[in-house]
Chains A and B, each alone.
Chain A
Amino acid sequence: MNTLMAPGTNSAATPDAEVVLSIRGLNTYYHTKRRMVKACQSVNLDLRKGEVFSLVGESACGKSTLGMTLMNLLPDRTELGGEVVFEGRNLLTLASEELRQIRGKKIALIFQDPMTRMDPLMTVEEHFSETLKSHEDIERKEARRRAAVALDAVGVPPSRLRDYPHQFSGGMRQRIMIALALVFHPALLIADEATTSLDVVVQAQILRLLRQLKDRYGLTILNITHDLGVVAEISDRVAVMYGGRVVEQGTAEEVFHRAAHPYTKGLLSSVIHMGSTSLSWIDGMPPDLGHPLPGCPYTPRCDRRVPVCDGGFPDERELSPTHRFCCVNPSGEGPGASGGREARPGEGRRGGASPR
């Protein structure tokens, strides 16, 4: 995925569609022995039916934590605040048994490394029957039939139901994981770096598959990734996370072409373009979420910082009904105006957060 495809060409974003999942003022704080890590802070997002919503950001910005928070798959001592409303219920306060019934059936999650996400001692069929049985009383034959249908939908021949995970390639396994996740036709699919460990060709196949399945089942997809190519490929809307906060969100077109936040700009300009001879990056390291700054977390790395930035996290500003960002001194119009720094090929990298 070396080049950015034209964003905004995906199925039209439908701003009026029904909200499937609503996140309001979400805080996720990890408590470790010595300190507290604020992995997500005051996150507000709405996922609408039938859209692909991408959450972008570099490593350690809290985006995976957000995905795990929605399923409440976090360590026991994690402190959660705010609310996540799904089908009229706040997922953060549900009893664990109610939550279990939602996991896999109404909201499903697929992960980054399909190679280790399947039990090596269980056949594909057993994976399906276990998943089916944890939500429904189902007979062996019926389970097999539904597994075959689900596998067929993702392009894995049902004749391979009796095979073990080690007999499949990474791409095939990811397909199987997707089939497992979609076996109940959930309303929401969270894809946490689902294509990251796959090679480019397989990545493209999986993305195409996800899009097809989305249209067929009316899925909503929350796509968590650091790969802007993937974002451009499938997203309707995009949110950019930095330091545990959503710093900018809008339609894919708005974020890619009219980015307002300096971090978004920096991120976009660090993408390697086909045929370019220079590399660009953002100086510095992602912030330590265990020691959050009082102001905007991007301040130390920002080339547009002004004294107010240290005072407090900026309020959200609206550019259009769909496009919002949090910055007191936003960049001007036009892509790549500022934000990233240029380097000549021979110069090497100096401790930059490298774009991937």
Chain B
Amino acid sequence: MRRIWARLKGELFTISGLRIVIGLIIVLFYLLVAVLAPALSPFDPEKLGVGEMLQTPDSTYHFGTTYLGYDLYSRTIYGTRTALEIVLMATLIAVLIGVPLGLVSGYLGGWLDRILVLVMDSVYSFPDLILAIVIAAVLGSGLLNAAVAVSVVYIPQYFRVTRNHTLSVREETFVEAARALGASKLDIIRRYIFPNVSQSIPVILTVNSADAILTLAGLSFLGFGITPPKPFWGLDISEAWRYMTMTKDYPQIWWWTAIPGFAIVILIVGFTLLGEGLNDILNPQLRESQR
């Protein structure tokens, strides 16, 4: 952390520094909104008919209402909570499963490595959303289930990055020296290899978070994972789209899709900027080649 800060201080006004700062501001803003959601939202996001149906945005209903009279402003704010909760859980699950498996697979090698690589590659070769839909369909709806469905998509990425990095660190001579001093396999993985590999994790973590939100939005748009009346952006867009295709009066109710849509896009931009910026700073080789 100290290292990152030291580098960042020197590069605050370069492109990657700015990327990190802007990304961080956006992500922190969403975090703040999520934490303060009860204080910020004027209405209960899950309560029907708090206003007339399909009110245009005004001073009471800042973002307008849906056709069931939900307050879109409150729903958008609470949607931040849902989004961050699930993304946090999903990335945590993916890291906790992908990284240890990658370490073990890369260090021990042999048949275990072959089997794990085969499994992970098969998972990775599935289109993200389809895989998530299958898992969400099997597990049913609910926050945790949605998180698991999203995390399965990303486990192979953590696995592959960790495993490949482990393969190169494993050959470092200090690992051999540690073995000669009697370190056990577990200690070598835990104390010598993991710290040397861990630097690549924050980057995939932030980039994946952006991706995970998109997958999650797609999932809920298609009616899996999160179900109404849970406030989530993807759900609102989905309902709006269904309503619009039925009534054909979409230019008049722009807010119902545009605002949750923007919420998704801006958060993804935030995570992406943060991830790309971190990647530049944590990965000096890449930095050199870009100059």
Interface, chain A (partner B; CB < 8 A): 71, 73, 76, 100-105, 108-109, 111, 113, 116-122, 126, 130-131, 133-135, 177, 180-181
Return A292 CB to nearest CB of chain B, in Å. 27
Inside 8 A of A177's CB, which chain B residues have their CB? Answer: 177
B195 & A121 in contact (Cβ 8 Å cutoff): yes
Contact between chains at A135 and B178 (CB < 8 Å): no
Apart from A100-B184, A117-B174, A130-B191, 16 more pairs, CB < 8 Å: A73-B180, A102-B182, A103-B180, A103-B182, A105-B182, A111-B173, A116-B173, A117-B176, A118-B177, A119-B178, A119-B192, A120-B196, A121-B196, A130-B192, A131-B181, A131-B183
Report which of B172, B176, B181 forms a contact with A181, defined as CB distance below 8 A. Answer: B181
Report the nearest B residue to A128, measured CB to CB: B181
Q: A225–B178 Cα gap in the complex (Å)?
A: 22
Encoded as 1 (CB less than 8 Å from any A CB) or 0, chain B from 223 to 247 comes to 0000000000000000000000000
Contact A73 B182 (CB under 8 A): no
Contact residues in B for A76 (Cβ distance below 8 Å): 110
In the complex, A177→B176 CA distance in Å? Answer: 13
B187 located at the interface, meaning its Cβ lies under 8 Å from any Cβ of chain A in the complex: yes
Q: Contact at B181–A134, with CB atoms within 8 Å? A: yes
B179 within 8 A of A: yes
A sample of 11 inter-chain contacts (CB < 8 A) reads A104-B182, A104-B183, A108-B180, A111-B176, A111-B180, A116-B172, A117-B177, A118-B174, A121-B195, A131-B182, A131-B183
Q: Is the CB of A73 within 8 A of B179?
A: yes
Contact of B181 among A104, A113, A121, A122 (CB under 8 A): A104
List of A residues within 8 angstroms of B179 by Cβ: 73, 103
Q: State which of A71, A113, A120, A130 has its C-beta within 8 Å of the C-beta of B178.
A: A130
B187 to chain A: closest residue by CB: A134
Task: Scan residues 98-119 of chain B and give those whose CB is less than 8 A from a CB of chain A.
Answer: 110
Within 8 A of A (CB), among B145-185: 172-174, 176-184
- Contact check, B181 vs A180: say whether CB atoms are below 8 A apart: yes
B interface with A by C-beta (< 8 Å): 110, 172-174, 176-184, 187, 191-192, 195-196
Q: Establish whether residues B182 and A135, one from each chain, have CB atoms under 8 Å apart when the complex forms.
A: yes
Residue of A nearest to B199 (CB): A121
A280 CB to closest chain B CB (Å) equals 34
Closest to B183 in A: A134
The 7 closest A-B CB pairs, nearest first, are A104-B182, A104-B181, A109-B180, A103-B182, A117-B177, A116-B173, A121-B195
A228 to chain B, nearest CB (A): 25
In Å, the complex CA distance between A126 and B181 comes to 13
What CA separation (Å) do A111 and B195 show in the bound complex?
Answer: 23
Bound CA span A118–B80, Å? 46
Instruction: Determine how close the nearest CB of chain B comes to the CB of A61; give it in whole angstroms.
Output: 21
On whether the beta carbons of B182 and A119 are closer than 8 Å, the reply is: no
A102 CA / B184 CA spacing, docked (Å) = 12
Measured between beta carbons, the chain A residues less than 8 angstroms from B183 are 100, 104, 130-131, 134
Residue of A nearest to B179 (CB): A73
Q: How far is the CA of A113 from the CA of B191 in the complex (A)?
A: 21
Measured between C-beta atoms, what is the minimum distance from B6 to chain A in Å?
15
Evaluate contact between B180 and A119: CB separation under 8 angstroms: no
Q: From residue A265, how far is it (CB to closest CB) to chain B in Å?
A: 34
Q: Are B177 and A111 closer than 8 Å at their CB atoms?
A: yes
Residue of B nearest to A102 (CB): B182
- One of B174, B181, B184 near A108 (C-beta < 8 A): B181
Residues from chain B with Cβ under 8 Å of A181 in the complex: 181
CA distance A203 to B111 in the complex (A): 44
Alpha-carbon gap, A113 to B174, bound state (A): 10
Which residue of chain A has the shortest Cβ distance to B186 in the bound complex? A134
Please name all residues of chain B whose beta carbon is closer than 8 Å to the beta carbon of A104 when the two chains form the complex. Answer: 180-183
B170 nearest CB across to chain A (Å) = 12
Q: If the complex has contacts A73-B179, A119-B192, A119-B196, are A134 and B174 also in contact, measured as CB distance less than 8 A?
A: no
Q: Which residues from B are CB-within-8-Å of A111?
A: 173, 176-177, 180
Contacts of B184 in A (CB 8 A): 100, 134
B192: A residues at CB distance < 8 A: 119, 122, 130
> Which residues on the A side are within 8 Å of B172 (C-beta)?
116
CB distance from B107 to the nearest CB of A (A): 13
Residues in chain A near residue B187, CB distance under 8 A: 130, 133-134
The distance from the CB of B110 to the nearest CB of chain A, in whole angstroms, is: 8
Question: A117 contacts which chain B residues (CB < 8 A)?
Answer: 173-174, 176-177
User: CA–CA, A121 to B178, complex, Å?
Assistant: 13
Name the CB-closest residue of A to B195. Answer: A121
Alpha-carbon distance between A71 and B177 when the two chains are bound, in angstroms: 11
